[in-house]
Structure 1
Amino acid sequence: MPDWSARLNELAVAAEVPGAVLGIWHDGATTITPYGVLNAATGVETTADSLFQIGSVSKSWTAAMIVQLAAEDRLRLPDPVVKLLPEAPIDSRVTVRHLLTHTGGIDGDLFTDTGRGDDCLQRYVALLADVEQLFEPGTAYSYCNAGFVVLGRLIEVLDGRTWDESLRARLIEPLGLTHTVTLPEEAILHRAARGHTAEDSSPVRTWQLPRSIGPAGLIAASAGDVLEFARMHLTDNAYAAMQEPQVPFAGGIGGFVDLGLTWRIYDWDGRRIFGHDGSTISQTAFLRIDPEARLIMCLLTNSGNGTRLFEPLATEVFRELVGVAHPDSPQPVDAPIDAPIDDRNVGRYERAGVRLDVGRRGDRLLLTEQATGDRLAFAEEPVHEYEMLPTKPLDGDHFVIRYSPDHPWVPLTFTPTHLFTSGRVTPRR
Structure 2
Amino acid sequence: MNDTPNHDTALADFIAEVATEHDLPGIAVGIWIDGREIIANYGVTSIENPVPVTEHTVFAVGSTSKTFTATALMRLVAAGKVDLDAPVRTYVPELKLLDEQHAATITVRHLLNHTAGLEWNIINNTGEGDDGLAAFVATLSELPLIAAPGERASYSQAGFNLLGRVIENVTGEPFEKVVADTVFAPVGLAESFYFRDDIMTRRFSVGHERQEDGTLAVARTWKGTRANNPGGGLGTTVSDLLRWGRFHLGDGRTASGETVLPTELLRRMQQPTVTLRASTLADAFGLCWMLREVDGVHLVGHGGSGFGQFADLQLVPERGFAIAVLSNASPEGIPANQAIVRWALEHYLGVIDKDPEPLPFDAERVRELLGEYEIDAMTATFLVEDGQLLLDCKVKPEIRAAAPEGAIPQDHPAFPIGLLPNDEYIVTAGSFQGQRGFLTRDNHGEITALDLAGRVFTRVS
Could you say which residue in structure 1 is the equivalent of 2:91? 84
Residue 319 (str. 1) matches residue 326 (str. 2):
no
AA aligned to 1:307 is I
Could you say which residue in structure 1 is the equivalent of 2:56? 49
Residue 224 (str. 1) matches residue 253 (str. 2):
no
Could you say which residue in structure 2 is the equivalent of 1:410? 435
Cα displacement string for residues 56-89 of structure 1 (whole angstroms, at most 9, x for unaligned residues): 1110100001111011111111111012211111
Contact 1:172 1:180 in 2 (8 A): yes
Q: Secondary structure at the match of 1:317?
A: helix
Structure-1 separation of matches of 2:448 and 2:433: 27
Could you say which residue in structure 1 is the equivalent of 2:313? 287
Contact 1:180 1:222 in 2 (8 A): yes
Q: 1:239 to 1:412 in 2, by over 3 A?
A: closer
Structure-1 separation of matches of 2:324 and 2:95: 35
Q: 1:320 to 1:363 in 2, by over 3 A?
A: closer
Structure-2 separation of matches of 1:333 and 1:207: 40
Could you say which residue in structure 2 is the equivalent of 1:59? 66
AA aligned to 2:242 is L
Select 1:96's aligned residue among 96, 108, 120. 108
Cα displacement string for residues 234-270 of structure 1 (whole angstroms, at most 9, x for unaligned residues): 221141110011111111537x212110111111101
* Equivalence map 1:137-216=2 (5 Å): 137-198=149-210, 200-216=215-231
AA aligned to 1:417 is T
Structure-2 separation of matches of 1:129 and 1:342: 37
Contact 1:349 1:355 in 2 (8 A): yes
Contact 1:111 1:213 in 2 (8 A): no
Structure-2 separation of matches of 1:58 and 1:187: 15
Residue 386 (str. 1) matches residue 415 (str. 2):
yes
Could you say which residue in structure 2 is the equivalent of 1:21? 28
Equivalent residue pairs, number: 421
Could you say which residue in structure 2 is the equivalent of 1:343? 367
Contact 2:88 2:108 in 1 (8 A): yes
Q: Name which of structure 1's ranges 311-320 and 16-25 shifts more when overlaid on structure 2.
A: 311-320
Structure-2 separation of matches of 1:361 and 1:10: 32
Structure-1 separation of matches of 2:325 and 2:195: 21
Select 2:329's aligned residue among 299, 303, 322. 303
Scaled by the length of structure 2, what TM-score is found? 0.86
Contact 1:263 1:276 in 2 (8 A): yes
What's the CA shift for 1:201? Answer: 2.9
Q: 1:25 to 1:364 in 2, by over 3 A?
A: closer
Could you say which residue in structure 1 is the equivalent of 2:14? 7
Structure-1 separation of matches of 2:210 and 2:271: 34
Residue 123 (str. 1) matches residue 135 (str. 2):
yes
What's the CA shift for 1:139? Answer: 0.8
Structure-2 separation of matches of 1:176 and 1:361: 52
Q: 1:274 to 1:213 in 2, by over 3 A?
A: same
Q: Secondary structure at the match of 1:253?
A: coil
Structure-2 separation of matches of 1:123 and 1:318: 43
Structure-1 separation of matches of 2:370 and 2:280: 24
Cα displacement string for residues 26-62 of structure 1 (whole angstroms, at most 9, x for unaligned residues): 2331122211010011122112200011111110100
Contact 2:277 2:437 in 1 (8 A): no
Q: Secondary structure at the match of 2:394?
A: strand
Residue 70 (str. 1) matches residue 82 (str. 2):
no
Structure-1 separation of matches of 2:415 and 2:16: 30
Structure-2 separation of matches of 1:332 and 1:413: 13
Q: 1:153 to 1:227 in 2, by over 3 A?
A: same
Could you say which residue in structure 1 is the equivalent of 2:459? 428
Which blocks of at least 5 consecutive residues in structure 1 are unaligned?
none
AA aligned to 1:379 is I
Could you say which residue in structure 1 is the equivalent of 2:450? 419
AA aligned to 1:414 is L
Q: Name which of structure 1's ranges 368-377 and 193-202 shifts more when overlaid on structure 2.
A: 368-377
What's the CA shift for 1:341? Answer: 6.4
Q: Secondary structure at the match of 1:181?
A: coil
Cα displacement string for residues 280-314 of structure 1 (whole angstroms, at most 9, x for unaligned residues): 11100000111121111100111221222222222
Could you say which residue in structure 1 is the equivalent of 2:272? 245
Structure-1 separation of matches of 2:385 and 2:65: 40
Q: Name which of structure 1's ranges 142-151 and 3-12 shifts more when overlaid on structure 2.
A: 3-12
Q: Secondary structure at the match of 2:228?
A: helix
Scaled by the length of structure 1, what TM-score is found? 0.92
AA aligned to 1:312 is A
Q: Secondary structure at the match of 1:277?
A: strand
* Equivalence map 1:26-41=2 (5 Å): 26-41=33-48
Contact 1:331 1:409 in 2 (8 A): no
Structure-2 separation of matches of 1:109 and 1:79: 23
Q: 1:126 to 1:330 in 2, by over 3 A?
A: farther
Q: Secondary structure at the match of 2:137?
A: helix
Which blocks of at least 5 consecutive residues in structure 2 are unaligned?
1-5, 253-262, 441-446
AA aligned to 2:284 is D
Contact 1:18 1:201 in 2 (8 A): no
Cα displacement string for residues 375-410 of structure 1 (whole angstroms, at most 9, x for unaligned residues): 5542342464334x33221x6x433336x6465132
What's the CA shift for 1:198? Answer: 4.6
Q: Name which of structure 1's ranges 156-165 and 3-12 shifts more when overlaid on structure 2.
A: 3-12
Structure-1 separation of matches of 2:333 and 2:390: 25
Contact 2:291 2:298 in 1 (8 A): yes
Q: 1:133 to 1:14 in 2, by over 3 A?
A: same
Q: Name which of structure 1's ranges 70-79 and 340-349 shifts more when overlaid on structure 2.
A: 340-349
